[in-house]
Amino acid sequence: MKLFICLFLVFLSSFNFDYKKREMPYPIVIAKADLIVDGTVSKVSKNTYEFKVDQFVKGKSNSRINVVIWKEWLCDPRMKELKPGQRLILFLKRNAFGTFYSINDSTGELYIDNDNFINIFIAKDFVNPTIFKEGVKMFLKTFTACGDFNDRFFGDGYFLSNKSIFEIYKMEEDNQVFKYLVDRQMNYSNIQYSTTLQFSN
């Protein structure tokens, strides 16, 4: 029996069971996105779904777009079944065929029910869709992504800010999503702030 257990442990150790999803911070998701949109699923097919855009947060396209359905796996399950009428906020890249796909699978596909996020894995700072979208817009107006965020550790990418540290601190008081994006998610990245300080009378 002991021999069987030892052989079984040796057998298990030869396999890699590291199923943890590679997390992508939302500042990088925002930077990579061609489109950030709020809307509803209008039709579901085998490999894609049609999406009716109600609001553009970043980028522009037709009001109806096709989105590739990403493949679920052990550590990245879909929060809910895709069906007509489901509201989503999507962070999308356009592929060579003119359709879109969500960035980092579930990271770029946020489910909303009754004006609340239902994904238990997203940050509690993402209070509701209205505050979330406003925080993303504030981030887009403040930071410009530069360099390359495509390597495993995003080491060649950085952000330029058009505002001073003091201005950003004040903005953080107005929106907790913006504060989360700056304080909690950008500590990995080089941030270059504006050197021009503006003082009001």
Q: CB under 8 Å to 124, separation ≥6 — which residues?
A: none
Predicted pLDDT of residue 76: 79
pLDDT surpassing 60 at residue 135: yes
pTM over 0.75: yes
Q: What percent of the chain has pLDDT over 90?
A: 52
Q: Per this entry, what is the length of the chain?
A: 201
Helix (H) or strand (E) holding 43: strand 35-44
Distances (CA, A) of 29 to 58, 90, 107, 116, 130: 12, 10, 8, 21, 18
Across 165-184, average pLDDT = 92
Where is pLDDT greater, at 21 or 73? 73
The fold of 26-192 is: OB fold (Dihydrolipoamide Acetyltransferase, E2P) (2.40.50)
Q: Cα(109)–Cα(87) distance, rounded to whole angstroms?
A: 10
Predicted pLDDT of residue 119: 73
Across 133-140, average pLDDT = 97
* Bridging pattern class, strands 116-117 and 109-113: antiparallel
* DSSP-assigned letter for residue 183: I
Contact indicator for 38, 133 with CB cutoff of 8 Å = yes
Q: For 31-47, write each residue's pLDDT tens digit.
A: 999 999 999 999 999 99
Distances (CA, A) of 169 to 82, 127, 166: 39, 20, 5
Half-sphere CA count of 198, side-chain side, radius 13 A: 8
Q: Domain boundaries in the chain?
A: 26-192
